[in-house]
Structure 1
Amino acid sequence: MSRTDAIALIGRYYAAFNAGNAAGMLDCVAEDVEHRVNEGGIRRGRDKFAEFCSHMGVSYREELKDLVIFANDDGTRGAAEFVVHGEYLKTDPGLPEARGQRYVLPAGGFFEIRGGKIARVTTFYNLNDWIAQVSA
């Protein structure tokens, strides 16, 4: 896979995210995808990834803006930087109560690509910043 192909794959993944299209996101990931989320555990496999997407779709409404995508020359690794513009819809266990609070949060993602699919996605953001925004 080339750098251009990797950037296009990550672009499709985030376009599906912004469209609220979990099936489109799942189409971009490998069967054995490893999903690592900031301050959380590791989810392994498409089924666990699908569960996460379903949960996110109920608890949050998010749009990623100012997206910039990078990839290495052989298209096996990639990264993205963006700003999350979101609304907290349903209380997530262990987090502040949801009341429709809006937030703006810089974030990033890191990717491993294998066989034309995303094999690992790691997402980072400042959880304390998010908590402060939804608690205000």
Structure 2
Amino acid sequence: MANDELLISQTKKTIGEPVAIKLTPILGPKGWLADGADIALLDFEIVDKNGDRHPLSKNKVDFTISGPAIWRGGYNSGKPNTINNLFLDAEAGINRVAIKSLLQEGEVTITATSKGLKPANIELKRNL
């Protein structure tokens, strides 16, 4: 340590039991464009009561989608037939799905559910 300054600190904490699904959209800098080619990525996480990811969760998560968009789904590592389905497993408590835009504006609602967990939903507004 130089001049008794703290240079590095580390905190470890125990994650609580999984209680809910958390959805986080990843959009381009102009938002989600209704141009028929844009993709919205959506991370889903299995979280504890504090919103911290539960890294041991492997839950199957089911999705519903409504509005002007095309569901492209996600991928489970090493599992055949997992692309474009309305379900996907969490891997280490997280995974990602993709939604493709159409040529029309409107809100798209995505809901994620898994047995024993509080569901999550999100609305994405598409701009021309």
TM-score band w.r.t. shorter chain: under 0.3
Q: Which entry has the higher C-alpha Rg, 1 or 2?
A: 2
TM-score in terms of structure 2 length:
0.27
Q: When you count helix as a share of all residues, which structure comes out higher?
A: 1
What's the TM-score, normalizing by structure 1?
0.26
Larger RCO (CA within 8 A; separation ≥ 6): 2
